[in-house]
Structure 1
Amino acid sequence: MMDHFNLRLENLREKSGYTKKEVSKMLGFSANVYGAYERGERRPSLETCCKLADLYNVSLDYLLRGKEYKKEETQTEESRLLEVVNLFRGKGFEEPYILQLEKWEKLSREDLQELTNHFNWVVYKAEQEISE
């Protein structure tokens, strides 16, 4: 059930910009407790898992199993948008310009088509670089 749990913890901590000691302190542990979770030497209690999920703003399903529980196999539009936001944040863009709704409201249909075309071109270019 908790395969790669320690790696998820490490990844979430790094994405959040915390040190192991900072997380231990935030959770009220001694300095090395959280590090033992990341090394796989200790397993947190359910209460601690809930605190970790809240700290990293993820579900318990994701924290424990590495995937979200879904009644349906298809993702909702909202969950796909959240993945895009998390992708930006994971690459260091906390408040990317592209996610500012007030800017999008000013654009015409033609502007949006132009952005779509440009995005498709950038993706194509990136795929070409990968295949080289």
Structure 2
Amino acid sequence: MIDPFCLRLENLREKSGYTKKELSQKLGFSANVYGSYERGERRPSFETCCKLANIFHVSLDYLLCGKEYNQGNIETEESQLTEVIELFKEKGLKHPYILQLDKWEELSQEDLQELTNHFNWVVHKARLRKKA
């Protein structure tokens, strides 16, 4: 059976117009490394997945799982934010650093994308732990 992750990589590469060799070079690898990802012979590291998500302009959710996060409407987002704050409190984190607005204002768009990619990766790892 063909691995859906490998197929996603191939489809994204073709849509983007890159060759396997070009992507290997763009990622800083020797010519055949990226092709080994598409063939399922190797798995990219977290850092490489982040780079691929940025190159292909997709989220890590999509790259790893084939699912895009759906933001919904503003009311839903506000309700979800309230639920996240309550979850922090339930877990004993009354003033989590991540909710400090002044810290967010220091971040660039690239920083926010990196943070999003890292969060998606952590969620992915949590799901894998639950399945094990």
2:65 corresponds in structure 1 to 65
Q: Who wins on radius of gyration, i.e. which is larger?
A: 1
TM-superposed CA distance for 1:45, in Å, is: 0.5
Question: C-alpha distance in 2, partners of 1:18/1:70?
Answer: 28
Pairs aligned (count): 71
Partner of 2:83: none
Aligned to 1:15: 15
Deviation at 1:16, TM superposition (A): 0.7
Q: CA RMSD in A?
A: 1.6
Match of 2:24 in 1: 24
Q: CA deviation at 1:69?
A: 2.4
Corresponding residue for residue 115 of structure 2: none
Superposed CA offset, 1:47-101 (max 9, x none): 00000000000000000000112365xxxxxxxxxxxxxxxxxxxxxxxxxxxxx
Q: Which residue in 1 is equivalent to 2:52?
A: 52
Please give the secondary structure, in 2, of the residue aligned with 1:29. coil
Q: Which runs of 5+ in 1 are unaligned?
A: 73-132
Structure 1 runs of 4+ with >3 Å offset = none
5+ residue gaps, structure 2, are 73-132
